[in-house]
Structure 1
Amino acid sequence: MSLRFSLMGPVRAWRNDEEIELGPRQQRAVLAALLLNNGIRLSNDQLIGMVWDDPTPSAVMALRTYTYKIRKLLPELDLKSRNGGYTLKAEIIDDCRGEPLEGLDSTYFEAQRTRLAQHRLKSREDWLERELDILELQKHVATFPLRERPRALLMHALYREGRQAEALDEYHQARALLNDELGLEPGPELRKVHAQILKGDLHLERRPEQLPPSLPDFTGRTAEIALALRTLPKTVGITGMHGSGKTALATQIAHTVKHHYPDGQIFVRSKDVANELLRAVGVENPNGDKAALWRDKARGKRFLIVVDDVQDPAQVAELHTPGSAMILTSLRRWNELPGVTWVKLAGLTETEAREFLREVLDPARIEAELDAADEVLDRVSRMPNPIRVLGGKLTGRPHWTVAMLLAQMERETQLGSAIPSDCQAVLAPMIKAEERLSEAELHLLQCFSKRRADVIDVCEAAEMAGVEAGAIEYVLESLADVHLIEPMVLGRYRLPRFVRMYFGWRSPVLTS
């Protein structure tokens, strides 16, 4: 269930697509003050000072009443009261509907209204800088004729279209207006653009916007996202088994924080990360020490960088720069990289897995067969990618029940009882994992999987393989590094059900 808020125009809230009536003005004011300080604890006195300019003694009781009603109205908001104060965390959107905080009139809200209006204006101009649409820029300049940044962008756009005379005319109009209205000369940005046009060497600095789109049905990972948000701009690493959703999580986090990094967002999936970073900012065919050149280019800038599927720590070891943030995804956890906070992904929680299945399959079909749905989720260890495939399969078979899918998963085929024989996509994470295994690793997984063992013991594994415990422990640790088994206590490992089923019934023949 999605709960979101807007502070642009009247304070508003939606649960999924249904708007929620938020109550009287002062109650909305209390909610707005909490939302404006998203994630920050506010004392009673602070909240009262924000909502009422001249509070009476009854304001304390009024505040308690309003927070109680907000809790009842929005229970999933988790509005907490601790040590005489309140805090909440929520998703706030900018739906561009009108003047911020409409109808709220305290001194605090007036100041916040100005701040939000400036934030919206900057966001609009950031978009104009990316698009360089002449018509939109002309409209914006006409609305805000004294703002120099959009005027400089309009001059850029006109010059790029070969309309040099019009670009220069914009400068002269701005200069005359600034002189008449404020008695000022144009600022350094306008003067610089004007001089570059006269010299014929105006170049617009490239601002990369490379993030993949976020998934509209992304579900869960609340604790992992919270850890990442606390860590950034220091480097965050995301590690986990194939199919655990590492890239999806990295992308979700990146979209959440991208507004903090105005110089651009760069997404890299390459062995030569430094080269791709330089290309993203306009440096083609760089020579020499690429990492050093990137650090020089990024000095003083705030970039958000996502490096997907790091296969060697040397790829990223010397690329982090102050002010910029980096998010890494990797099958393995590279402990030799300094200053990285690692987030490990396994399957979703039971609640998250159910919620995700409801996103990709009609919830009514799940609720009608909840036990069967839970069994399906458990068989794939609640991994996001297989859940998406299985949910899509049932969506494409409207006359199938969940029990029918479960029956097919249980039917012995050349793929075994665990995996739908006609859906190779479900197997994709395990297929990728198997491709990288040594013969010793594959043999060990198959032996324990065929025995349907939940736990692998080092001594038992050594006896089965006919080698010393020390040698077999090396193999087990290698499997743990790629998350095919999970360390418990020393000498014991858990075998996830999805892994156990695939390697227990492994067949080289796949059908689709």
Structure 2
Amino acid sequence: MSLRFSLMGPVRAWRDDEEIDLGPRQQRAVLAALLLNNGIRLANDQLIGMVWDDPTPSAVMALRTYTYKLRKLMPELDLKAKDGGYLLRAEVFDDCRDEPFVGLTSTYFEAQRVRVANERLQCREILLEREMDVLDLQKHVAAHPLRERSRALLMRALYREGRQAEALEQFHEVRALLNDELGLEPGPDLREVHAQILRGELTVQRRPEQLPPDIDDFTGRATEIEQALRALPRTVGIAGMHGSGKTALAVRIGHLAGDRFPDGQIFVRGNDVANELLRAVGVENPAGDKAALWREKARGKRFLVVVDDLRDPASVRDLHVPGSAMVLTSVRRWNELPGVTWLKIAGLAEPEAREFLGKVLDPARIAAEPQHADDVLAHVSYMPNPIRVLGGKLSSRPSWTIAMLLRQMRRENLFGQAVPSDCQAVLSSMSKAYQELTEDERHLLACFARRDTEVINVCEAAEMSGGEIGAIEVLLESIADVHLIEPLELGRYRVPKFVRMYFGLNLAVLTS
């Protein structure tokens, strides 16, 4: 069973599809204040001040009573008493169509209503800026005639359609309204749009939309997505071995966060990141300090930049612009980059891997051989790319059982020189990893794989490889940096089954 809440309209809660009676108005007000500050501890006096404008001494006892009753109504509610206050973690689902906090009348909720209304207008204007539809902008301006941003957008849209006189008329109209009703002159942004139209210099800046399409069957990574969305617009880094789905995760995050960055989304894969960013906003053949030029172009704007497969941290070091966000993907975690929230990913969680396989392969075939399906997933360490390839192979062979695929995967001749194309696709991530390793690192991984050892320590690694402990320790850390082994504690590492399997029998296949 799961709880969900809504703050639009009256404060409401549901357990699955059944609505919960939340009790009297002040009890709902306590819940609403906690939901509005989701994940933040509120001291008792803070919470009381939000619910009651003129609290009496009995408010403390009333607060305790209401929180007790809320816990009794919803035993699964994550509501904690902590350090003289309360902390609530919950999921709120709203469609933004109704007036918020209906029936709650304190000064705090009135202020929150104003805040939400302003945020709604800002979100609406972000969408209008993206579409630049004259009719929609005219309707919005008619509903909110004093909002200068929407006037500037309408002026730009009219000018783009060749309706220069109408664009200038919009400026004179809003100027008269501001003078008559507020005694103000138009702000600098609106005046600049007006001046650019008069000079014939107004250009509608290119809005890059470069994100690759989202993947329909994307599965899992809910925790990582939540962490990334919470961290943005600070830079987010995604590190993991080849084949772990870093790019797919970055693209999913980009699509989920896209509306927060109305000036566009840019996707870069390559070493000259600054050059690609400038090209995306219309600067061709830039010269001089490209990073400085990008910061100048992006100042005051909100871009979302995805840099895929980062190889050189220096290429992004000086590109941060306040308000814009950057998502990096890399095999290595570049700790020398400041201000990056790093996420590490590997294989999917086992239930998510099964769910993903069920999206690629007929679930009835999985249900007929659940143990064999689990064995296939374990063989590839629950990595999404190999799962997709193997599931596709089985889909193309309706007469095969999963047990047949498993037998083929276990046969040593799979690793001979003649590797079927579908098996090469499974091996592709390991092939990339192999190419980036030194000979000593390859030898060490082969030693682990031949012993089929899941957990290894430095001394055992030195013994089986014939190397010195100091040198082996450096090699182990280097291999861990590219996620082919997982550090457990100082001097101990776990070797994933997928790595043991494909580095063990015949390394030559990885370069074929």
TM-score by length of 2: 0.81
Partner SS for 2:74: helix
Q: Please say if residues 265 and 304 of structure 1, whose CA atoms lie closer than 8 Å, have aligned partners that are also in contact.
A: yes
Q: 1:245 to 1:28 in 2, by over 3 A?
A: farther
Partner of 2:118: 118
**2-structure distance, mates of 1:215, 1:66:** 43
Structure 1 residue 201: Cα displacement: 1.0
The residue that corresponds to 1:38 in the other structure is: 38
Matched with 1:83 is 83
Distance 1:184 1:335, change over 3 A: closer
What RMSD in Å do the two structures reach over aligned CA positions?
4.1
Native 8 Å contact 2:160 2:204 kept in 1: no
1:247/1:308 contact within 8 Å kept: yes
Matches within 5 A, 1:378-393: 378-389=378-389
Inter-partner Cα distance in structure 2 for 1:11 and 1:493: 50
| Most deviating of 33-42 and 169-178 | 169-178
* Cα pair 1:278 1:284 within 8 Å, conserved: yes
| Superposition pairs of residues 358-507 of structure 1, within 5 angstroms | 374-389=374-389, 404=403, 407-408=406-407, 412=411, 414-415=413-414, 425-456=425-456, 458=458, 461=461, 468-488=468-488, 492-506=492-506
Tell me by how many angstroms 1:63 deviates.
1.3
1:43-442 aligned within 5 A:
43-53=43-53, 57=58, 59-69=62-72, 71-72=74-75, 75=76, 78-182=78-182, 184-212=184-212, 217-220=218-221, 222=223, 224=224, 234-254=234-254, 264-299=264-299, 301-350=301-350, 353=353, 374-389=374-389, 404=403, 407-408=406-407, 412=411, 414-415=413-414, 425-442=425-442
Larger displacement relative to structure 2 (477-486 or 405-414): 405-414
Of residues 323-332 and 208-217 in structure 1, the stretch that sits farther from structure 2 once superposed is: 208-217
Alpha-carbon shift at residue 198 of structure 1 (Å): 1.9
Unaligned segments of structure 2, at least 5 residues: none
Question: Residues 324 and 104 (structure 1 numbering): CA distance in 2 closer, same or farther, change over 3 Å?
Answer: same
Q: Is the 8 A contact 1:308 1:330 kept in 2?
A: yes
Using the TM superposition, give the Cα deviation of residue 277 of structure 1 relative to its aligned residue in structure 2, in angstroms.
2.0
Alignment check: 8 A CA contact 1:238 1:343 kept: yes
Q: Which amino acid aligns with 1:122?
A: Q
Offset of 1:344 from its aligned partner?
2.6
Q: Is the Cα contact below 8 Å between 1:6 and 1:13 reproduced in 2?
A: yes
1:86 aligned counterpart, secondary structure: strand
> In the alignment, is the contact (CA less than 8 A) between 2:456 and 2:492 conserved in 1?
yes
Shift of 1:288: 1.0
* Distance change in 2, residues 1:230/1:188 (3 Å): closer
Contact 1:148 1:190 (C-alpha < 8 Å) held by counterparts: yes
Cα distance in 1 between the residues matched to 2:428 and 2:63: 58
1:275 offset after TM fit, Å?
0.9
Corresponding residue pairs, total: 502
Distance 1:472 1:47, change over 3 A: closer
- For 1:492 and 1:61, the matched residues in 2 are separated by 49
CA contact (8 A) 2:34 2:88 kept: yes
Q: Structure 1 residues 141-150 or 130-139, which shifts more? A: 141-150
- 2: CA distance, partners of 1:198 / 1:416: 71
Q: Which amino acid aligns with 1:67?
A: L
Q: 1:295: how far off?
A: 3.0
| Distance in 2 separating the partners of 1:279 and 1:114 | 40
1:381 positional shift:
2.0
Are the aligned partners of 2:44 and 2:84 in contact in 1 as well (CA < 8 Å)? yes
Q: Is the 8 A contact 1:238 1:342 kept in 2?
A: yes
Check 1:411–1:329 CA distance in 2 against 1; reply closer, same or farther (3 A cut): closer
Q: Is the alpha carbon distance of 1:174 and 1:227 closer, same or farther for their aligned partners in structure 2, counting shifts above 3 Å?
A: closer
Is the contact between residue 372 and residue 406 of structure 1 (CA under 8 Å) also seen in structure 2? no
Letter in 2 for 1:449: A
Q: List per-residue Cα deviations over 1:424-447 (Å, max 9, x = no partner).
A: 544342233233334443344334
What is the CA–CA distance in structure 2 between the aligned matches of 1:389 and 1:5, rounded to whole Å?
40
Q: What letter corresponds to residue 385 of structure 1 in structure 2?
A: N
Give the gaps of 5 or more residues in structure 1. Answer: none
Distance across 2 between alignment mates of 1:158 and 1:130: 15
| Preserved contact between residue 415 and residue 506 of structure 1 (Cα < 8 Å) | no
For residues 402-457 of structure 1, the C-alpha deviation after alignment (integer angstroms, 9 at most, x for no partner) is x647744665274369x999565443422332333344433443343133122445
Paired with 2:222 and 2:506, the residues of 1 have a C-alpha distance of 30
Q: Tell me by how many angstroms 1:331 deviates.
A: 0.6
Alpha-carbon contact 2:415-2:509 (below 8 Å) kept: no
Instruction: Report deviation, 1:502.
Output: 1.9
Structure 1: how far apart are the matches of 2:265 and 2:396? 36
Shift of 1:144: 1.7
CA contact (8 A) 1:178 1:185 kept: yes
Q: Which residue of structure 1 aligns with residue 21 of structure 2?
A: 23
Change (3 A) 1:106 1:340: closer
User: Mean alpha-carbon deviation: is it higher for 350-359 or for 134-143?
Assistant: 350-359
Deviation string, structure 1 residues 307-333 (Cα, Å, up to 9, x no partner): 221111221222234554433221112
Distance 2:404 2:62 in 1: 58
